[in-house]
């Protein structure tokens, strides 16, 4: 997919930028792709599906079932824009794509829907119109594969590196049985891993695989459909997740290539390191505070204001934090500060960020 990498900056989908992506943001692309409304959300926002191709292999994809996970949607739209130009790649497939399953959460920039429900914990109960719509679409379309497209928090690392992308072939039971469906999904993920390593070595992880029958992936696996979880993550100061978006789209395209040419590599799957909760946004090391040397971890809370997401620092942990790594790390052992505020976990840390001259991000 190296051709994709050179074309990607020119794709029409690149007009969708920033972390705040909602129905209006993508409406012109929905028109371009001939999307049709297939349902509506709790707050009566439209939910659309895009149909592409008429080949024999049917794949159902959805993104932004968590409304604040927009990188997945942007990466997906880049992949679709590329496929629309490359008809030969599309030929084996009939794709059905729901690019924003939770438009209310997208508008409010929340994980949950307008009823405060996590749609990815509603597979069995099916209490929400958005989860029912996904499951009805699944049954009507009867896909051979499902792609469940998400963003992950900034806390994830693999070994010593930040985790840009993680993947999971979820299990259908507590025993994590390797069913034919799971093996097939593992095989696609193994292939993606092999394709990514030359480009983003050691930044790919295997997502936490505890079984939860209320998650959509586990549910569809239980129905015998290979389902792949894709998670777009954080690396360094790329809070717009521009690099992540590119490799996310690349991964979607590589997955399609693997499926069309039957290049599955399940044996690689368990070699992918499992993600660890090892990163924080900012790690301030060796700070002299009230007569002691401490480390302070800051985490950003993402706040929607004026159509942008502002990354507001909060004191996450205070102590000797050798087990944590920072997307940004600052050793302040050679500096002295006079503190006007007290440090306490959970408190707003804008004043500390100002004191240390940290960049304040908004995207
Ligand atoms: Zn998610």
Cα(289) to ligand 1 centroid in Å equals: 37
| Ligand 1 centroid – CA 313 distance (Å) | 22
CA dihedral 194, 196, 201, 204 (to 10 degrees): -90
Q: Which pLDDT score, from 0 to 100, does residue 43 have? A: 98
Q: Which residues surround ligand 1, an ion (CB under 5 A)?
A: 66, 69, 150
Output the pLDDT for position 339.
82
Q: In the prediction, which pLDDT does 338 show?
A: 83
From the CA of 66, how far away is ligand 1's center (Å)? 5
Name the segment(s) of the chain with CATH classification 3.40.630.10: 2-276
Nearest to 112 by CA among 70, 64, 60, 160: 64
Its pTM stands at: 0.97
- For residue 88, report the distance from its CA to the centre of ligand 1, in Å: 31
Q: What is the structure's pLDDT at 334?
A: 86
Report how far ligand 1's centroid is from the alpha carbon of 101 (Å). Answer: 11
- The predicted pLDDT at position 184 comes to 98
CA of 229 to the centre of ligand 1 (A): 9
Ligand 1 center from residue 45 Cα (angstroms): 20
Q: How far is the CA of 298 from the centre of ligand 1 (A)?
A: 22
Residue 208's pLDDT is: 85
Q: What token pair was written down for 74? A: 């942007």
CATH of the domain spanning 2-276, picked from 1.20.120.80, 3.40.630.10, 3.30.450.20, 3.90.1170.20: 3.40.630.10
Q: Is residue 29 within 8 Å of 77, Cβ to Cβ? A: yes
Determine the distance separating the centroid of ligand 1 and the alpha carbon of 69, expressed in angstroms.
Answer: 6
* pLDDT tens-digit profile, the chain (363 residues): 789 999 999 999 999 999 999 999 999 999 999 999 999 999 999 999 999 999 999 999 999 999 999 999 999 999 999 999 998 999 999 999 999 999 999 999 999 999 999 999 999 999 999 999 999 999 999 999 999 999 999 999 999 999 999 999 999 899 999 999 999 999 999 999 999 999 999 999 999 888 889 999 999 999 999 999 999 999 999 999 999 999 999 999 999 999 999 999 999 999 999 999 999 999 999 999 988 999 999 999 999 999 999 999 999 999 999 999 999 999 999 888 888 788 999 999 999 999 999 999 999
What is the CA(149)–ligand 1 centre distance, in A? 7
Angle (deg, nearest 10), helices 70-85 and 242-261: 50
Q: Which residues contact 24 (CB under 8 A, 6 or more apart)?
A: none
Q: Kindly give the distance from the C-alpha atom of residue 315 to the centroid of ligand 1, in angstroms, as a whole number.
A: 24
Interatomic CA distance for residues 251 and 253, integer angstroms: 5
């Amino acid at each position: 997919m190296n051709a994709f990498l050179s074309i990607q900056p020119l794709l029409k989908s690149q007009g969708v930028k920033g972390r705040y992506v909602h129905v209006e943001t993508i409406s012109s692309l929905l028109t371009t792709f001939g999307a049709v409304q297939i349902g509506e959300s709790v707050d009566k926002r439209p939910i659309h599906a895009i149909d592409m191709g008429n080949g024999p292999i049917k794949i159902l994809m959805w993104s932004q079932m968590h409304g604040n996970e927009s990188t997945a949607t942007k990466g997906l739209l880049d992949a679709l824009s590329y496929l629309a130009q490359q008809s030969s790649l599309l030929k084996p497939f009939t794709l059905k794509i729901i690019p924003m399953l939770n438009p209310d959460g997208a508008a409010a920039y929340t994980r949950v829907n307008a009823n405060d429900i996590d749609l990815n914990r509603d597979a069995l109960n099916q209490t929400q119109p958005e989860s029912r719509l996904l499951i009805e679409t699944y049954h009507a379309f009867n896909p051979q594969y499902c792609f469940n497209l998400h963003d992950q928090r900034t806390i994830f690392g693999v070994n010593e590196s930040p985790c840009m992308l993680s993947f999971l072939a979820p299990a259908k039971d507590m025993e994590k049985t390797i069913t034919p469906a799971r093996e097939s999904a593992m095989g696609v993920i193994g292939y993606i891993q092999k394709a990514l390593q030359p480009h983003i070595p050691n930044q790919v992880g295997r997502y936490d695989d505890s079984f939860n029958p209320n998650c959509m992936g586990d549910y569809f696996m239980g129905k015998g459909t290979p389902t792949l979880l894709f998670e777009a993550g954080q690396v360094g100061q790329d809070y717009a997740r521009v690099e992540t978006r590119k490799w996310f789209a690349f991964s979607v395209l590589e997955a399609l290539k693997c499926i069309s040419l039957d290049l599955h590599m399940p044996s690689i799957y368990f070699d992918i390191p499992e993600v660890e909760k090892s990163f924080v946004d900012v790690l301030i090391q060796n700070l002299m505070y009230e007569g002691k040397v401490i480390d302070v971890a800051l985490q950003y809370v993402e706040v929607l204001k004026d159509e942008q997401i502002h990354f507001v620092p909060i004191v996450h942990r205070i102590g000797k934090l050798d087990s944590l790594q920072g997307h940004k790390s600052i050793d302040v052992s050679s500096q002295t500060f006079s503190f006007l505020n007290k440090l306490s976990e959970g408190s707003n840390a804008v004043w500390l960020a100002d004191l240390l001259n940290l960049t304040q991000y908004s995207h």
